[in-house]
Structure 1
Amino acid sequence: MFELIDQKKSLLDARRPFPAHTLRTIHEHLVINWTYHSNAIEGNTLTLSETKIVLEGLTVGGKTLNEHFEAINHKEAILYIEDLVRHHEPLSEWQIKSVHRLILKNVHDEFAGVYRMENVIIGGAAHIPPDYSQVPAEMSEFVHWTNDSSHGLHPIARAAVVHSDFVKIHPFVDGNGRTARLLLNLELMKAGYPPIVIEKEQRLAYYEALNEAHTTGTPDRFIAFVAQSMDRTLDWYLNLIR
């Protein structure tokens, strides 16, 4: 699958640079869909059209203030990681905390950008995250592994493992899933791939693949899940530019 994906990526790269208007519309579509689906996976009830309205600066009747903030925060977090990609910066714990701080801003300020100081469980998952006292050491090791290119993984596999390992540590009290999906796309974009959107309709398959990776130590199913999402994303781009 990686070979086929890279062939499609080469076809896409050959069409660059895209027209300015096309880039703007692609980016707007990406931000709205990514924000909607990532928040919906976590229980946010804004619809896709309502998410678009909120990101345009309006409010939606009958929706909580937190749900509005979650949409606005997620857009700001996307813009932040895009800036990290432009500056070619290696991943750091400070960056991860900054992404998380944006995600929980005005929602749970007391937890924003702060490693958890309590033990947690992941609802519906067999894996139990490490004791909170182990989080700083595990996050240090996580960042070191992420910035080490010697493991020789394909960029898509590497990005998938980054997501999986981050969720396995579960370093924050809340907002881990959204942060993990942002880090996944940060690593994909650094490697020259477009970001993917894990849709709320894929939630069960997504959680099952993660749970298998965490309980068996084998991330193959989750890597395949991410690769399939990338394959569909490249098809969407290629159909658009044709």
Structure 2
Amino acid sequence: MINGRLIKERKIILEELGGLPPPVIKNKEWLYILEEETRNSILIEGFFLSEKELKKILKTNNPVSRDEEEALNYYKTANFIYGLGYENYKQNEFLFGIPLIRQINKELGYTGEFRKGEIKIAGAKFNPPNNYIEEWLSIFVDFVKYLYKNFDFNGLAVSHGFFEEIHPFDDGNGRTGRIILNYILVSKGYPPVILKGDEENKKKYYKALEEMDSYMKEIFLKKPDKNEVIQKLKDIKISKLTELILESLRENLDKIILGIYERNGFKLEPVSELLKTLGYSPSSTRQLIKRGKIIAVKKENKWYSVRQIFDKLL
């Protein structure tokens, strides 16, 4: 598992380079992250678009299939919300509340209205609360505001798991929750994460969300008590979802950091060659990257970095 400390150290390096760049389309790293996040987030829900198809629909702005409509709605919503998160980051403020959550759900193409009564989650081992939806969501908002001031990656994972356990809307809960997760990250100066949607990674994601089940099962049986629930959320430790978030953060932070270096005229070189200069064997490349010890990007099945930065975390 990647150590959260190594992610925070990457953030320090990024801040030294001027901080998270603005989420604009002309920034190729942001564009890649936003497009890939869109494709993967809708894929988790069973909608598929290739890279080429997504680029085409973003250009024409004229969806002709359900998959294209879902992709376009997600991309536009995420792009706007992350822009808002970026303004939070620059102003050191945090705009967050139930109206924003409802609006995200609406922009995704749903009603933005809270569900009334029971809902079943496919594959889940328990059912979300049937009553007090707005009260549960109000506690979620308070916990996220606490998290913003006392940020840590486990708490971020807990907040996402809690939202998905509440499942406040009739539809679009997964996509709404993933955009909120990334909104929090961008507001703190981190890039969005991409939770991969292929069959194997989707199973990992759902399995990770299940970690919250045992914690919330009994709490949801009674009327929400804000202080009790928030204390419970502070105490929860969930490793699987935290690990998925950290892995994606490593990848996207490295992409942005090295993108800044490239734009400043620095040359990408194979990591295996760079490691040789420190006495490491080429076979150690993959393991060091997996542990988050090397700042690197993958291009055509090969890892690259720049000489000036690759070993900063070794």
Aligned partners of 2:108 and 2:206: how far apart in 1?
21
Of residues 179-188 and 80-89 in structure 1, the stretch that sits farther from structure 2 once superposed is 80-89
Q: Greater share of helix residues, 1 or 2? A: 1
| CA apart distance, 1:235 | 2.5
Counterpart for residue 59 of structure 2: 56
Q: Give the counterpart of 1:183 among 156, 168, 180.
A: 180
Instruction: Tell me whether 213-222 or 92-101 shows the greater mean CA deviation.
Output: 213-222
Q: Does 1:72 align with 2:77?
A: no
Give the Å deviation of 1:32: 1.3
Q: Residue in 1 aligned with 2:31?
A: 28
Question: Does the C-alpha gap of structure 1 residues 28 and 225 become closer, same or farther in structure 2, counting only changes over 3 Å?
Answer: closer
| Residue number in structure 1 paired with 2:14 | 12
Q: Say which of 30, 38, 41 aligns to 1:38.
A: 41
User: Counterpart of 1:34 in structure 2: which amino acid?
Assistant: E
1:228 maps to 247
Instruction: Tell me the residue number matched to 2:256.
Output: 237
| Corresponding residue number in structure 2 for 1:119 | 118
Name the stretch that deviates more: 12-21 or 157-166: 12-21
The structure-2 alpha-carbon separation of the partners of 1:9 and 1:121, relative to structure 1 and needing over 3 Å to count, comes to same
Instruction: Tell me: CA distance 1:227–1:21, structure 2 relative to 1, closer, same or farther (3 Å).
Output: closer
In the alignment, is the contact (CA less than 8 A) between 1:160 and 1:226 conserved in 2? Answer: yes
Residues 25-70 of structure 1 show CA distances to partners (whole Å, capped at 9, x for unaligned) of: 222222211111111111112222211211112557xx62x22221
- Residue 92 of structure 1, aligned match among 89, 97, 101: 97
1:146 maps to which residue?
144
- Is the Cα–Cα contact under 8 Å of residues 58 and 72 in structure 2 kept in the other structure? yes
In structure 1, the partner of 2:135 is 137
The answer to whether the 8 A contact 2:148-2:188 is kept is no
Deviation per CA, 1:149-194: give whole Å up to 9, x if none. 598451x333222211100000011101111110000111111111
Q: Which amino acid aligns with 1:138?
A: W
> How many residues are aligned here?
231
- SS at structure 2 position matched to 1:200: coil
Quote the offset at 1:230 in angstroms: 1.2
| Amino acid in structure 2 at the alignment position of 1:53 | K
SS in 2 for 1:212: helix
Distance 2:239 2:206 in 1: 14
Query: What is the correspondence of 1:170-209 to structure 2 with a 5 Å cutoff?
Result: 170-201=167-198, 202-209=201-208
What is the letter of the counterpart of residue 128 of structure 1? N
Task: Identify unmatched segments of 5+ residues in structure 1.
Answer: none
**TM-score, length basis structure 2:** 0.67
Task: Provide structure 2 residue ranges, at least 5 long, that are not aligned to the other structure.
Answer: 217-236, 262-314
